[in-house]
């Protein structure tokens, strides 16, 4: 009986130590998974938001929705959404498989198509105005050991393109402007094909 | 001499060791924690794969909606362009007819004026006669301008009709591509391999087999002819790319301006304004029956009205019609699931076909006894995030292209409408598809 008691005394704290390590590991994996699923869920939301944003722009003469509107309709957190206008894919781009990600103000002259990228998440690891989604982290504190170039893992994005529904060429002026923009836009993209091929 | 150990001493030691081992709890938390981490990780990966599948499904639907909407938009734009040209045609003919009517009136008036001006004490009529003849002399000019306008207009409108399908198809593809769609031929092949062969039998009575064969035909045709060009969205019925706007006989004034009016004016002008060197249209040497001048079947005049262009007046055709609806498909190809765990065959949870039966009886076997990794045995493939093929319909709404009216065509996404069965081109089936 003495031996048994002594044995327990030698192992004092072992279970605590194991629990500390094991539960920490579980908590770490849990947090990583929760965060990953949180972003995965929000990536679905960004896809729906991107469609709405592109549709909205196409149906409102090129006026993009505000980030606040996107927040209101699609996300539970506010202040983490960015609406980014990208250069829309035109016919030559699709033929050549060019995936342009250049930001533009409006390359179509209001005729469309409009390509919108919705980004949800932090754009800076140390930004007071753009709080990290987890309350566990102080927004003004950088994630430990995370280099700045890994900031992309803290955000998700989706893009969608929609044509300019609001411009149906119902007047001569609209038609003339639309024809010009169509020709000049596709001619510009055609140049990109040659630059890719040669 | 050592005392002899009791016979059960070793047994007692072994029992004590076992008791000690059984009561030893070292490592149990680590083991449990490790198992929990493994399970949580697996469930997490499954959840993220599901998220990715849902995301891809939405991407596919957004892409095909964007393509269908864009196709309808470009058809609406071309319809509006045709309508604007029709309206211009109408207005020009209206103005020309009124001008010819006025000129004819002055030609007729010039006949008595030509006589009166030579009567003594009526010389003050001379300026009136001159003015009448000046107006009268515009008669052949007006007619020629109208003919020239018509000869320019009709090829332009025909060109729009001819070019429309390519631009509609091009922009639908560009928008599908910009929305994240993948090559629809590849996607369709994967999708049919995974889903459609199981699903087609469900709605075969509703035209599903026809859908399958049509997609295969489109696949073979486009894949063979245009295999070098990536295609991101295709219409189920490519004929719908056309505007379905055709030349049509007019319903009267102003597209039909009877030749009798200017002919009377011409005769009167030849009489009343001869001194002013009135030049009849009959004297200008133009061959109004030539194809280049709009006669002889040019510019669609061959339809029901095979009259050559009349020397005087006009009897114009105009473009009329509407495109109707279109149904498009686009999709996203399959993807390897996260971390490639789907490549572990035993995660498939299936058996090789040969394992299902033995001596004609179904037997129970181990879950998997083939290769642990990759596609082995008779199994169809590794676990993947499946390909998604989405479908959407759209149509142009508003007034169809008519002789004279508002250019108010607009694109609309509509309930998915399949153009089957194709033996009745006037019918189509609508399906509610829950997105």
Q: Which residue has the higher pLDDT, B145 or B218?
A: B145
According to DSSP, residue A149 is labeled G
ipTM score for this prediction? 0.86
Instruction: State the average pLDDT over residues B319-328.
Output: 90
Q: Are B411 and B396 in contact (CB under 8 A)?
A: yes
| Helical (H) or strand (E) element with B148 | helix B138-178
Q: Give the C-alpha separation, B311 to B144, whole Å.
A: 9
Helix runs in B117-137, H state only: 126-136
Q: Tally Cβ neighbours within 10 Å of residue B409.
A: 27
Residue A22's pLDDT is 84
Residue B346's pLDDT is 54
Using CB atoms within 10 Å of the CB of residue B50, give its burial: 0 to 12 exposed, 13 to 18 middle, 19+ buried.
middle
Residue A35's pLDDT is 83
Q: Are B18 and A8 in contact (CB under 8 A)?
A: no
Strands of the sheet with B325-332, listed across from one edge: B233-235, B325-332, B388-397, B410-414
Q: Give the C-alpha separation, B316 to B188, whole Å.
A: 47
A9: in domain? no
Q: Are A155 and A81 in contact (CB under 8 A)?
A: no
**Strands in A76-162 per DSSP E:** 81-86, 114-121, 155-162
Residue B7's pLDDT is 56
Q: Tally Cβ neighbours within 10 Å of residue B231.
A: 25
Residue B169's pLDDT is 94
The answer to whether the CB atoms of B40 and A11 lie below 8 A apart is no
Residue B163's pLDDT is 93
pLDDT confidence bin for A80, thresholds 50/70/90: confident
- Residues in A closer than 8 angstroms to B180, CB to CB, are 158-160
Using CB atoms within 10 Å of the CB of residue A134, give its burial: 0 to 12 exposed, 13 to 18 middle, 19+ buried.
middle
pLDDT confidence bin for B15, thresholds 50/70/90: confident
Residue A46's pLDDT is 95
Residue A139's pLDDT is 46
Q: Tally Cβ neighbours within 10 Å of residue B54.
A: 17
The answer to whether the CB atoms of B32 and A22 lie below 8 A apart is yes
Q: Give the C-alpha separation, B160 to B77, whole Å.
A: 11
Average pLDDT of chain B?
77
pLDDT confidence bin for A97, thresholds 50/70/90: confident
Residue B295's pLDDT is 41
- Residues in B closer than 8 angstroms to A19, CB to CB, are 29
**pLDDT tens column, B369-378:** 555 555 544 4
Q: Quick check: B265 pLDDT over 70?
A: yes
Q: Give the C-alpha separation, B374 to B385, whole Å.
A: 15
Helix (H, G, I), strand (E, B) or coil at A119: strand
Please tell me the total count of domains within chain A: 1
According to DSSP, residue B5 is labeled P
The answer to whether the CB atoms of A95 and B178 lie below 8 A apart is no
- Residues in B closer than 8 angstroms to A163, CB to CB, are 66, 69-70, 73-74, 171, 175
Q: Are B247 and B317 in contact (CB under 8 A)?
A: yes
Residue with tokens 């002055």: B106
**pLDDT tens column, B117-142:** 778 877 788 888 888 988 988 888 88
User: How far is the CA of B181 from the CAs of B55, B58, B60, B394, in angstroms?
Assistant: 12, 10, 6, 18
| Helical (H) or strand (E) element with B257 | strand B256-257
pLDDT confidence bin for B234, thresholds 50/70/90: very high
Domain hosting A136: range is 14-197
**pLDDT tens column, A157-197:** 999 999 999 999 999 999 999 999 888 888 877 776 666 65
pTM: 0.80
Q: Quick check: B74 pLDDT over 90?
A: yes
Contacts (Cβ under 8 Å, ≥6 apart) of A42: A75, A120, A121, A156
Instruction: State the average pLDDT over residues B342-351.
Output: 56
**pLDDT tens column, A32-54:** 888 888 889 999 999 999 999 99
Q: Give the C-alpha separation, B72 to B68, whole Å.
A: 6
Q: Give the C-alpha separation, A117 to A136, whole Å.
A: 28
A94: nearest CA partner in chain B: B174
Q: Give the C-alpha separation, B140 to B145, whole Å.
A: 9
A104: in domain? yes
B160: nearest CA partner in chain A: A179
Residue with tokens 């995301």: B55
Q: Give the C-alpha separation, B108 to B96, whole Å.
A: 18
To the nearest whole Å, the CA of B103 is away from the closest chain A CA by 30
Residue A7's pLDDT is 53
Q: Tally Cβ neighbours within 10 Å of residue A47.
A: 27
- Residues in A closer than 8 angstroms to B176, CB to CB, are 94
Residue B191's pLDDT is 77
CA Rg value for chain B: 40
Residue A30's pLDDT is 87
pLDDT confidence bin for B102, thresholds 50/70/90: very high
Q: Quick check: B308 pLDDT over 60?
A: no
The answer to whether the CB atoms of A44 and B54 lie below 8 A apart is yes
Residues 327-366 of B with CB under 8 A from A: none
**pLDDT tens column, A1-12:** 455 555 555 666
Q: Give the C-alpha separation, B222 to B238, whole Å.
A: 11
Helix (H, G, I), strand (E, B) or coil at B355: helix
Nearest to B143 by CA among B73, B93, B208: B93
Q: Give the C-alpha separation, B81 to A168, whole Å.
A: 9
To the nearest whole Å, the CA of A79 is away from the closest chain B CA by 23
Q: Which tokens in the block code for residue B240?
A: 């719908």
Cα-flanking dihedrals φ and ψ of residue B175, to 5°?
A: -75, -35
**pLDDT tens column, B375-423:** 544 444 567 788 888 999 999 988 888 888 888 999 999 988 877 655 4
To the nearest whole Å, the CA of A181 is away from the closest chain B CA by 14
A3: in domain? no
According to DSSP, residue A195 is labeled H
Q: Which of A22, A25, A94 lies nearest to residue B173, judging by beta carbons?
A: A94
Residue B289's pLDDT is 47
Helix (H, G, I), strand (E, B) or coil at A137: coil
**pLDDT tens column, A118-141:** 999 876 655 555 555 554 444 445
Average pLDDT of chain A?
79
- Residues in B closer than 8 angstroms to A182, CB to CB, are 167
Q: Give the C-alpha separation, A73 to A65, whole Å.
A: 11
């Amino acid at each position: 009986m003495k031996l048994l008691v002594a044995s327990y005394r030698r192992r004092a704290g072992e279970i605590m130590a194991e629990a500390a390590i094991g539960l920490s590991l579980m908590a770490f994996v849990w947090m990583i998974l929760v965060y990953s699923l949180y972003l995965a869920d929000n990536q679905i939301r960004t896809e729906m938001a991107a469609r709405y944003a592109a549709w909205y722009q196409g149906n409102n003469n090129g006026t993009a929705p505000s980030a606040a509107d996107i927040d209101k309709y699609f996300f539970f957190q506010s202040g983490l959404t960015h609406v980014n206008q990208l250069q829309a894919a035109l016919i030559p781009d699709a033929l050549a498989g060019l995936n342009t990600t250049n930001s533009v103000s409006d390359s179509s002259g209001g005729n469309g198509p409009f390509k919108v990228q919705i980004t949800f998440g932090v754009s800076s690891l140390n930004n007071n105005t753009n709080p990290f989604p987890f309350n566990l982290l102080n927004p003004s504190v950088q994630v430990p050991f995370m280099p700045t170039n890994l900031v992309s893992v803290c955000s998700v994005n989706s893009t969608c393109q929609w044509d300019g529904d609001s411009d149906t060429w119902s007047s001569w002026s609209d038609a003339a402007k639309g024809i010009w923009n169509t020709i000049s836009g596709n001619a510009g993209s055609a140049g990109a094909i040659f630059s890719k091929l040669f | 001499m050592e005392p002899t150990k009791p016979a059960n001493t070793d047994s007692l030691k072994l029992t004590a060791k076992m008791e000690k081992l059984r009561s030893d709890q070292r490592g149990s938390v680590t083991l449990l924690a490790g198992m929990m981490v493994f399970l949580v990780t697996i469930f997490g990966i499954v959840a993220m794969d599901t998220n990715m599948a849902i995301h891809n499904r939405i991407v596919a639907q957004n892409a095909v909606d964007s393509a269908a909407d864009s196709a309808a938009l470009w058809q609406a734009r071309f319809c509006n362009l045709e309508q604007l040209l029709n309206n211009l045609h109408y207005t020009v003919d209206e103005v020309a007819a009124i001008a010819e009517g006025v000129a004819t009136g002055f030609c007729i008036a010039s006949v008595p004026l030509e006589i009166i001006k030579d009567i003594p004490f009526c010389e003050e009529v001379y300026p009136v006669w001159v003015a009448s003849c000046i107006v009268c002399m515009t008669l052949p000019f007006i007619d020629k301008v109208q003919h020239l306008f018509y000869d320019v207009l009709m090829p332009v409108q025909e060109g729009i009709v001819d070019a429309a399908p390519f631009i509609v198809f091009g922009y639908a593809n560009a928008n599908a591509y910009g929305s994240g769609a993948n090559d629809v031929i590849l996607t369709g092949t994967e999708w049919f391999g995974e889903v459609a062969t199981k699903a087609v039998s469900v709605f075969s009575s509703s035209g599903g087999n026809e859908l399958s064969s049509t997609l295969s035909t489109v696949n073979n045709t486009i894949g063979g002819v245009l295999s070098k060009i990536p295609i991101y969205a295709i219409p189920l019925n490519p004929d719908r790319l056309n505007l379905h706007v055709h030349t049509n006989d007019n319903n009267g004034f102003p597209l039909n301006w009877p030749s009798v009016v200017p002919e009377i004016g011409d005769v009167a002008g030849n009489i009343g304004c001869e001194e002013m060197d009135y030049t009849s249209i009959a004297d200008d040497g133009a061959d109004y029956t030539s194809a280049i001048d709009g006669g002889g079947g040019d510019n669609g005049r061959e339809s029901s009205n095979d009259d050559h262009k009349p020397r005087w007046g006009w009897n114009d055709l105009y473009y009329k019609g509407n495109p109707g609806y279109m149904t498009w498909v686009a999709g996203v190809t399959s993807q390897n699931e996260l971390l490639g765990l789907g490549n572990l065959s035993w995660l498939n949870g299936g058996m090789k076909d040969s394992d299902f039966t033995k001596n004609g009886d179904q037997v129970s076997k181990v879950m998997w006894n083939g290769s642990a990794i990759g596609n082995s045995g008779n199994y169809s493939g590794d676990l993947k995030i499946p390909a998604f093929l989405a479908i959407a319909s759209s149509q142009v709404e508003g007034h169809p292209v008519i002789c004279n009216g508002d250019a108010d065509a607009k694109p609309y996404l509509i309930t998915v409408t399949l153009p089957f069965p194709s033996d009745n081109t006037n019918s189509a089936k609508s399906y509610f598809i829950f997105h």
